[in-house]
Structure 1
């Protein structure tokens, strides 16, 4: 650890990222695996954004939100995976304090934005299924733009608050971050300052921002399920359910990984399991999401065929 005298974040120059060290897999194999994963993530999400942008039939509220979600997925992977790939081939796995804080800011930013966008997409499906006759008057372009703007703005302020509070902490003792990226809980544990204010703000403010989108998703899908059960024919129920099946699969992946991370008792939580779960929502889920949408959504598949046919 590079420090002299008082050990604080202005004197400490570097953190050491433990990364994926200790996993029973050779680094070159992990590098190749996650490089392919990252490239597929960028390619898959860019294809969805291109399809929504080019095909006028997809320029609807549902696909406008999906295009934003695809951009957030690319951003989520880009915040953590390139640094992880570089560290897999590097002997000196360091990150400067300033870069660590920047990475933490953007990770919190895109992660929270993704949560809000999932809530917005659930609300969109709720209106489409429960109030189909009012859909075009409720889900206007102005409403969609407001949902997206709110998601980005609130998430940015949330991330900025916690990043600024973390930069005021002092770091002493070990400079090793037992993760492959800089996340807020790890940095709070490493600090030798009093983090009671940080912990309190994180518990209250972050809990509200996490639980609010989740509550919106749950309430929306409860109403959707009740509406589907009222449909008399099995074919009608399946056809209606299929319109939100892709989104439900993505919601399950996102919140499933989150619950594995935050609801697992600390006494049974291992360093390896933490990193494996983190790999799921930072690297694997952003890659799987576009495949889920393209495989389960007929309109996306047709739009991709039209885009390819036009070229």
Structure 2
């Protein structure tokens, strides 16, 4: 009996044992592996299961494990995964844990008036999600257009508040201006530890295929879908398109101020008048992005073709 067959049998027996003891079954990818629609290397590829990610195990057969990952149900080779007994380490729980850790590092604001309304959109006619008392605290997720701020309340409600209802915490180096935007101060705060974790997470997605409109590792990413997905896993909410990220999220910084984790924006059409591409700066003149030219998530140099069309940079890690 060859080694691969033996591993498949052992994993099958392990699944049965855990099931009988009531343990949840979770698979973690040891390398990035294809998810297929049947237990065969010749079957259709439905998506990918990235290295380091976890998925629910549904069943096992002949050296293959059936999983549910990111909305995709299919089969992966048992050689490329490891099983755990506790589903509490699933992606969803890991993500919520990351969110709890990062939320405490977000800028905060104090509500200035009683009956301050948190709305579903940037309009006084939009739905009221919550009413807050004077002195309440909220997390500031992003600067929005037209005098609105995207916030998260302490009970987790995410919505929009008019800028004049909020006063930013003085412990952060960004503040709300009278126009509802962010004013730059002498220094832009920077969280290096968080940046390291974000970049480590992003690098685990190297090689995931490019897909226009894509925002999932199982089916592929476009440039902004990749950036949004990475930061969302750390509790940081970004807009969906590169142009909207550049206009709305974070604090603008100069090229010379770039640090790992900053967002870099480009006009790849060459006209230098419209932002249509975004990546995450790694340091050393390199950045990670979902590249349509290379067909996958990759690392490029700022002196490359995309680099020569560099337009601006923004910092969202503070």
Shorter-chain TM-score tier: under 0.3
Does 1 or 2 have the higher relative contact order (CA < 8 Å, sep 6+)?
1
Higher relative strand content: 2
Higher relative helix content: 1
TM-score for both structures, normalised by structure 1? 0.25
Bigger Rg over Cα? 2
